[in-house]
Homo-oligomer: A and B are copies of this chain.
């Protein structure tokens, strides 16, 4: 069995990514993907056992590129907001360059059953570890408020980043973004600035700096001081 060249394989996978991203797993057809890739269905079934197997390969290919980006943007040992700004810019650029990769990523989040668990670990494991470690370090270094669980901190941070990507690429989220922010939804620099403002405060302000309440107080009491 002759192996495909990397280029051929990439072209096939890109065709799959486009189709799956735009029409979903069930909506995309193998025939159509083969045609878009300039090959016959036979080739698809030579290298991939079935549709699901091929879908997973597309997913892997897609996430590889996203992962590569994240490796890069998280590699620099910047101070917090610069670190965040780098990631935001990186994801914005990636979203512009490869919207279908992000759309496919979104399709992925609809998976259910045991596969979902496996995929989540595969896909989110890296960033979960990276962000949590970074935040824990920042807390230890005193660059970051210490009164929050670093895991939740990282979680909320990544939540905002995921939504940012989807808001750039997925039709529904784009419309929702526009609903909230109007024409400014398209202004990458503005979005970055506003998100950084939001994060900056969330990251740095300790509750203690605002009010001097006891740990045990009920949440709604918290609000009294606002």
Residue A109 is within 8 A (CB to CB) of chain B in the complex: yes
Q: Which single member of B83, B111, B182 contacts A151 (CB below 8 Å)?
A: B182
Q: How far, in Å, is A161 (CB) from chain B's closest CB?
A: 10
Residue A156 is within 8 A (CB to CB) of chain B in the complex: yes
Residue A65 is within 8 A (CB to CB) of chain B in the complex: no
Tell me which residues across on chain B come within 8 A of A108, comparing CB atoms.
172
Q: Which single member of B82, B151, B155, B160 contacts A220 (CB below 8 Å)?
A: B82
Residue A201 is within 8 A (CB to CB) of chain B in the complex: yes
Complex Cα spacing A144 to B121, Å: 37
Q: Quick check: B124 and A176 within 8 Å, CB to CB?
A: yes
Q: Which single member of B79, B109, B162, B173 contacts A223 (CB below 8 Å)?
A: B79
Q: Quick check: B85 and A219 within 8 Å, CB to CB?
A: yes
Tell me which residues across on chain B come within 8 A of A205, comparing CB atoms.
200-201, 204-205, 209-210, 226
Residue A53 is within 8 A (CB to CB) of chain B in the complex: no
Complex Cα spacing A223 to B154, Å: 17
Q: Quick check: A109 and B170 within 8 Å, CB to CB?
A: yes
Tell me which residues across on chain B come within 8 A of A224, comparing CB atoms.
79, 143
Residue A94 is within 8 A (CB to CB) of chain B in the complex: no
**Of A9-17, A22-30, A66-74, which stretch is located at the interface?**
A22-30
Q: Quick check: B175 and A121 within 8 Å, CB to CB?
A: yes
Closest residue of chain B to A125, judged by CB?
B179
Residue A5 is within 8 A (CB to CB) of chain B in the complex: no
**11 A-B residue contacts at CB 8 Å?**
A78-B220, A85-B222, A128-B179, A144-B223, A148-B194, A151-B180, A152-B191, A196-B222, A201-B203, A203-B223, A205-B205
